[in-house]
């Protein structure tokens, strides 16, 4: 795992947006071979979305051949509710770039059959050959998407009851009223996230310091679902100094030292053109035929 420690939130956003830009450009997506990007919501990726939109405005990046899959959505909020993740994505990203809306996917928390909606979401991911790069954020309890503590580390897209901590944390978007926060959500599973060829997690602020400590210095544990990234062959966490507050000085110095070494290698390949699929895909749980034909 790579841990990139930067001075503050703005530096984190710059780094992540630039990384996404270079990955997409390096992939050279086309209509037949789009770049498949997994996307989060929340405060953590806002700066990244802003910078990605700037790249688009300056003509440095196009999302024309990018397909997106979002991590999660609340159950029962109308899609045009200001706090739905549909609205969030439209407001902060989709409306600001040249993405084709037919190629964006956000779970439908109002589907008549929620289980069927989750099953079909996995199918849609498989149909485009899996996710190339999944961006994520975490909750203060270390949840990834809405995979709350105790979620199966092999879980797939499904309906999830939200933890009280998450409801309280997210009530800031609902006028501070916990009663207004939906109690159920649809979420990709930890297994769905792990199937991506590459994962990148944004962690910022003191409130996430204990979660980062559990992700980096403790073992893989279902009570901190983000810790599962230790098992991913191509995982990066990008964090700010505040988020490192509970890491050992030695751990911080170790990862900073690695980045210093990397910076001295101008020709260091940022990432292979396309990473191999994660374990579930290799075991045949998702259909990789389309991807292997085009590569």
43 binds ligand GLP (CB under 6 A): yes
Q: Is 100 a catalytic residue?
A: no
- Beta bridge partners of residue 6, listed in sequence order: 240
Taking CB under 6 A as the criterion, the residue among 166, 192, 227, 274 binding ligand GLP is 166
State how far the alpha carbon of 154 is from the alpha carbons of 149, 190, 231, in Å: 13, 6, 12
Taking CB under 6 A as the criterion, the residue among 37, 72, 94, 186 binding ligand GLP is 72
Residues 170, 181: Cα–Cα separation, whole Å: 7
Phi, psi of 160 (to 5 degrees): -135, 140
Q: Which candidate in 143, 195, 232, 240 is catalytic?
A: 143
Q: Is 72 a catalytic residue?
A: yes
> Which C-beta is closer to ligand GLP: that of 139 or that of 278?
139
Could you tell me where the DSSP H helices lie in 229-273? 249-263
**Biggest alpha carbon–alpha carbon distance for the chain:** 54
x/- site string to ligand GLP, residues 187 to 216, per CB under 6 A?
------------------------------
Taking CB under 6 A as the criterion, the residue among 27, 35, 121, 146 binding ligand GLP is 146
Stretch in the footprint of ligand GLP (CB under 6 A) among 37-45, 59-67, 86-94, 273-281 = 37-45
Residues 278, 192: Cα–Cα separation, whole Å: 9
Q: Are residues 223 and 142 in contact, defined by beta-carbon separation less than 8 angstroms?
A: yes
Taking CB under 6 A as the criterion, the residue among 29, 34, 38, 40 binding ligand GLP is 40
Q: Is 232 a catalytic residue?
A: no
Pairing of strands 2-6, 235-240: parallel
> Which C-beta is closer to ligand GLP: that of 29 or that of 42?
42
**The residue to which tokens 């159950």 are assigned:** 75
Taking CB under 6 A as the criterion, the residue among 29, 34, 38, 42 binding ligand GLP is 42
44 binds ligand GLP (CB under 6 A): yes
Q: Which candidate in 72, 73, 195, 240 is catalytic?
A: 72
157 binds ligand GLP (CB under 6 A): no
- In the complex, the smallest distance separating the C-beta of residue 104 from ligand GLP, rounded to whole angstroms, is 17
- In the complex, the smallest distance separating the C-beta of residue 275 from ligand GLP, rounded to whole angstroms, is 22
Strand positions, DSSP E, the chain: 2-6, 35-39, 66-70, 72-74, 104-105, 133-136, 158-161, 184-187, 198-203, 235-240
- In the complex, the smallest distance separating the C-beta of residue 145 from ligand GLP, rounded to whole angstroms, is 5
> Which C-beta is closer to ligand GLP: that of 33 or that of 79?
79
Taking CB under 6 A as the criterion, the residue among 16, 53, 71, 243 binding ligand GLP is 71
In sequence order, what are the residues at sequence separation of 6 or more whose Cβ sits closer than 8 angstroms to the Cβ of residue 235? 1, 2, 198, 199, 200, 201, 229
Residue sitting closest to ligand GLP (CB): 42
Residues 47, 136: Cα–Cα separation, whole Å: 13
In sequence order, what are the residues at sequence separation of 6 or more whose Cβ sits closer than 8 angstroms to the Cβ of residue 184? 74, 75, 76, 109, 159, 160, 161, 162
Residues of this chain that bind ligand GLP (CB under 6 A): 40-44, 71-72, 137-139, 145-146, 166, 170
Catalytic residues: 72, 141, 143, 148
């Amino acid at each position: 795992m790579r841990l990139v420690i930067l001075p503050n939130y703005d530096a984190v956003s710059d780094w992540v947006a630039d990384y996404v830009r270079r990955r997409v450009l390096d992939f050279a997506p086309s209509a037949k071979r789009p770049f498949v990007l997994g996307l989060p919501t929340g405060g953590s990726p806002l700066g990244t979305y802003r910078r990605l939109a700037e790249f688009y405005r300056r003509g440095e990046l196009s999302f024309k051949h990018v397909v997106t899959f979002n991590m999660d959505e609340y159950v029962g909020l109308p899609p045009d509710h200001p706090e739905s993740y549909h609205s969030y994505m439209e407001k902060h990203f989709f409306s600001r770039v040249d993405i084709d809306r037919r190629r964006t996917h956000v779970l439908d928390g109002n589907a008549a059959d929620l289980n069927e909606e989750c099953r079909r979401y996995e199918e849609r991911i498989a149909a485009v050959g899996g996710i190339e790069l999944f961006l994520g954020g975490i909750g203060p309890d270390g949840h990834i998407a809405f995979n709350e503590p105790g979620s199966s580390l092999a879980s797939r897209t499904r309906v999830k009851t939200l933890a009280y901590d998450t409801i309280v944390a997210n009530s800031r978007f609902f006028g501070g009223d916990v009663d207004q926060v939906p109690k159920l959500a649809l979420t990709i599973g930890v297994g769905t996230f792990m199937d991506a060829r590459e994962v990148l997690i944004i962690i910022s602020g003191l409130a996430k310091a204990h979660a980062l400590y559990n992700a980096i210095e403790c073992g893989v544990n279902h009570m901190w679902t983000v810790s599962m990234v230790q098992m991913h062959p191509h995982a990066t966490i990008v964090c700010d100094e505040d988020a490192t507050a509970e890491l050992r000085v030695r751990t911080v110095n170790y990862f900073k030292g690695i980045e210093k070494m990397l910076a001295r290698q101008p020709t260091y390949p940022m990432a292979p053109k396309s990473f191999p699929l994660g374990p579930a895909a290799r075991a045949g749980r998702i259909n990789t035929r389309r991807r292997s034909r085009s590569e």
